[in-house]
Amino acid sequence: MRIGVDYYPEHWDKDMWQSDARLMNQTGVKIVRLAEFAWCRLEPSDGLFDFGLLDEAVRLFADNGIDVILGTPTNCPPRWLCEKHPSILPVGDNGKTNPIGIRAHRCYNDTKLREYAGRIIARLAEHYRDFPNVTAWQLDNELEANICFCDTCNKKHREWLKRKYGTLEALNKAYGNVVWSGEYQSWEQIGPPYGGYNTTWLNPAYMIDFERRATEDMLEFIQFQADIIRSYIPNAIITTNACFCNHTSDFTAMFSELDVAAYDNYPTACLTSDYENITSTSAFLDMVRGAKRKNFWIMEELSGMPGCWAPMQRTPAPGMIKGYAKQAFAHGADTVIFFRWRTANIGAEMHWHGLIDHSGVPGRRFYEFAELCKEAEELKDIQGSELHSDIAILYSPDSGRAFRLQPQTDGFSYIEQIKAVHQAFVRYGLNVDIIDEHADISGYKIVCAPALYVTDNSTVKMLHEFAESGGTVVLTARSGVKDENNNCIMEQLPTVYRGLVGCHVTEYDPIGRDKAKVRFTDGKEYDCKQWCDILETDTAETVASYESEFYAGKPAITVNSCGSGKTFYIGTVGTRRMYEKAVKQILDISGLAYTEGLPENVEITTRTGNGITARFIFNNTTLKRSFELDGKAIQLDPFEVKIIRM
């Protein structure tokens, strides 16, 4: 397994590079990421390219046996360029142009940006193809983090709408623009959602299209950059770093034309105050693997206390630097690159800590990192092995968008739904894939699609066929609510899935932060929250009923037979324990083997390949853990990862 670091030669004196590269080599660093924000040094004035500095750094790393992943610097166009062509600067949702200095100051659609970005990328690719240690490319940086509201984007948006709807009448109808007299009389009236982007007052049909088009533009920008690099280096390994922030709906599409998926992994270091988030990391890792259903890279890994624009968070506790990196291995990462080697002493991110603090004196975190590098080398036999899973959780990009636009009830979040169901399977030591709703699901035994809110007919068909042919399908509340335009379907919920799950919703109660109770048929009771579908069975049987509220006794969770498969419907949002209970029943019906009795926040995943099966057991807690696994006593220190080869 390969460990790397993010490094910024342009921030440091050259003599520091020397000692840094030497120390990296001694420590076991195998790859550095360079240059993703360095445009002003690479092209100090229009058309004057100066790669001297970068050449020196790349050569220095070559001399130290270290590979380079080069960033295309398009995230930060230089000042001279923005002054010459101000249209490059993106516009925020307040209608105002974003200032230079906060980075990401580029509109993907601007023709001047494309021209200058295209030129420097071509120059870089042409130049660095001859450097044998430049082995991969990162496009821009966290591309999904920003949406632009400029005129260029808006013009493109209108063209996109014309292609999609043909006529204004069709668009007005699809959007239901008659509401609040919003009908357009001309295409020119269509503008970006200035001032309202984060409010819920705007038309959800209009808003989902706005986000869809913005995603497509990001994909186009990715393709644009990758094509240029490939025209010089046909076998280039190209990726980009996803952060799964607000607009990351389309994680599969983001990487579909790239060679490998990569993710910026900042697990929480605050295990007491951030209890729910402890389990987020495993879900996100399964999601980035799910993007291509292949092993992936971590492009930025937690190295020290995060903070800068927000207050600083706790320092990674002893064991976390190693533990979280190995957790990434456990989920299919083969390369883990730490952000960052050194903590910046300049710029806005000077309090986002790297492996080495401002003092320059390697400390506890660094020495733990050094141990990791050594231990990673001992995992050569596991490199390239993969996770295989019988369980898939579907992520619907459109449902993600639609829920962000219209939160359903206090506390409800789509990604939290995905994570809750994911975590329930993790509790049983199973591999789980989180994949796009359009991915191929043949080959899985259980497919869960929590809150499949926006309907896509191909997904509906796929889930029916999957169940018919013997698979187990799990749906939850808020499924089948919206049509493809993000308007409500006028049928009893879960509308298009009613036949599949054999039950329907007679009424629902968005209970928000209140609690209700459900009782399973064996008498066990669990809390539920946020949402209660009051169900009536058609052909399904009741698995659990409400135990409180005016609907006490009505079904809350059901199971149905569909063809030779089974379908579950969970009409509420449970506590962790409730999902664990339901998932055990789901696993039993599906006949899958699983591990019981794992301590809380201990994860097991399995990688196979190269003739070996390796089980990774990770203790994501600050406590020592001991338990039995297959008749053997296992003891784990805090954040320890044990790897058992079988």
Residues interacting with ligand GAL, by CB under 6 A?
141-142, 243, 264, 300, 339, 349, 352
Which of Zn ion, ligand GAL, none is residue 141 near (CB under 5 to 8 Å by kind)? ligand GAL
User: Interacting stretch for Zn ion, rule CB under 5 A, among 24-32, 100-108, 476-484, 558-566?
Assistant: 100-108
Is residue 384 within 8 Å of 442, Cβ to Cβ? no
Cα 380 from chain centroid (whole Å): 27
Which of ligand GAL, Zn ion, none is residue 349 near (CB under 5 to 8 Å by kind)? ligand GAL
Residue with tokens 């039993």: 588
Cα(145)–Cα(394) distance, rounded to whole angstroms? 22
Q: How far is the CB of 19 from ligand GAL (least distance, A)?
A: 24
Cα(545)–Cα(456) distance, rounded to whole angstroms? 30
Q: How far is the CB of 339 from ligand GAL (least distance, A)?
A: 6
Residue 107 sits in the site that holds Zn ion (CB under 5 A): yes
Query: Cβ closer to ligand GAL: 178 or 350?
Result: 350
Strand partners, 33: 6, 69
Which of ligand GAL, Zn ion, none is residue 142 near (CB under 5 to 8 Å by kind)? ligand GAL
Query: Cβ closer to ligand GAL: 303 or 408?
Result: 303
Query: Cβ closer to Zn ion: 152 or 479?
Result: 152
Q: What phi and psi values does residue 531 have, to the nearest 5 degrees?
A: -150, 135
Which of ligand GAL, Zn ion, none is residue 150 near (CB under 5 to 8 Å by kind)? Zn ion
Q: How far is the CB of 158 from Zn ion (least distance, A)?
A: 13
Q: How far is the CB of 240 from ligand GAL (least distance, A)?
A: 11
Which of ligand GAL, Zn ion, none is residue 352 near (CB under 5 to 8 Å by kind)? ligand GAL
Q: How far is the CB of 150 from Zn ion (least distance, A)?
A: 3
Cα(1)–Cα(333) distance, rounded to whole angstroms? 8
Strand runs (DSSP E) across 451-601, as ranges? 472-476, 503-520, 525-537, 541-546, 555-562, 565-570, 572-574
Q: How far is the CB of 545 from Zn ion (least distance, A)?
A: 52
Query: Cβ closer to ligand GAL: 286 or 300?
Result: 300
Query: Cβ closer to Zn ion: 98 or 295?
Result: 98
Which of Zn ion, ligand GAL, none is residue 107 near (CB under 5 to 8 Å by kind)? Zn ion
- Restricted to residues 226-245, the positions that interact with Zn ion (CB under 5 A) are none
Is residue 3 within 8 Å of 28, Cβ to Cβ? yes
Cα(215)–Cα(341) distance, rounded to whole angstroms? 32
Residue 218 sits in the site that holds Zn ion (CB under 5 A): no
Residue 82 sits in the site that holds Zn ion (CB under 5 A): no
Of 36, 43, 142, 437, the active-site residue reads 142
In 3-state terms, the chain is what percent helix, strand and coil (to 5)? 35, 25, 40
Cα(414)–Cα(391) distance, rounded to whole angstroms? 19
Is residue 636 within 8 Å of 622, Cβ to Cβ? no
Nearest residue to 435 (alpha-carbon basis) of 618, 238, 253: 253
Question: What letter represents residue 183's amino acid?
Answer: E
Is residue 445 within 8 Å of 390, Cβ to Cβ? yes
Q: How far is the CB of 28 from ligand GAL (least distance, A)?
A: 23
Nearest residue to 239 (alpha-carbon basis) of 255, 252, 250: 255
Query: Cβ closer to Zn ion: 3 or 153?
Result: 153
Using CB under 5 A, pick the residue from 147, 153, 228, 243 that binds Zn ion: 153
Nearest residue to 326 (alpha-carbon basis) of 628, 604, 630: 604
Cα(254)–Cα(210) distance, rounded to whole angstroms? 17
Q: How far is the CB of 373 from ligand GAL (least distance, A)?
A: 21
Q: How far is the CB of 99 from Zn ion (least distance, A)?
A: 15
Size, binding site for Zn ion by CB under 5 A: 5
Beta strands 525-537 and 572-574, pairing class: antiparallel
Dihedral angle of Cα 190, 196, 199, 204, to the nearest 10 degrees: 10
Q: How far is the CB of 308 from ligand GAL (least distance, A)?
A: 6
Which of Zn ion, ligand GAL, none is residue 398 near (CB under 5 to 8 Å by kind)? none
Query: Cβ closer to ligand GAL: 141 or 619?
Result: 141
Which of Zn ion, ligand GAL, none is residue 153 near (CB under 5 to 8 Å by kind)? Zn ion
Q: How far is the CB of 270 from ligand GAL (least distance, A)?
A: 16
Cα(603)–Cα(33) distance, rounded to whole angstroms? 30
Is residue 400 within 8 Å of 436, Cβ to Cβ? no
Query: Cβ closer to ligand GAL: 141 or 385?
Result: 141
Per-residue three-class SS string for 71-83:
ECCCCCCCHHHHH
Beta strands 612-619 and 641-645, pairing class: antiparallel
Residue with the shortest CB distance to ligand GAL? 352
Cα(438)–Cα(621) distance, rounded to whole angstroms? 35
Which of Zn ion, ligand GAL, none is residue 414 near (CB under 5 to 8 Å by kind)? none
Cα(409)–Cα(379) distance, rounded to whole angstroms? 46
Using CB under 5 A, pick the residue from 148, 299, 435, 493 that binds Zn ion: 148
Token digits of residue 230: 């490939």
User: Interacting stretch for Zn ion, rule CB under 5 A, among 20-28, 150-158, 333-341, 567-575?
Assistant: 150-158
Question: What letter represents residue 556's amino acid?
Answer: A
300 is catalytic: yes
Residue with tokens 């030779």: 564
Query: Cβ closer to ligand GAL: 339 or 414?
Result: 339
Starting from the edge strand earliest in sequence, which strands make up the sheet with 572-574, in order?
A: 432-436, 391-395, 446-449, 472-476, 565-570, 555-562, 541-546, 503-520, 525-537, 572-574
Query: Cβ closer to ligand GAL: 143 or 570?
Result: 143
Other residues' Cβ atoms within 10 Å of the Cβ of residue 639: 23
Query: Cβ closer to ligand GAL: 244 or 531?
Result: 244
Of 43, 144, 211, 300, the active-site residue reads 300
Using CB under 5 A, pick the residue from 150, 214, 291, 302 that binds Zn ion: 150
Which of Zn ion, ligand GAL, none is residue 243 near (CB under 5 to 8 Å by kind)? ligand GAL
Q: How many residues are present in the chain?
A: 646
- Sites of contact with Zn ion (CB under 5 A): 107, 148, 150, 152-153
Active site residues: 142, 300
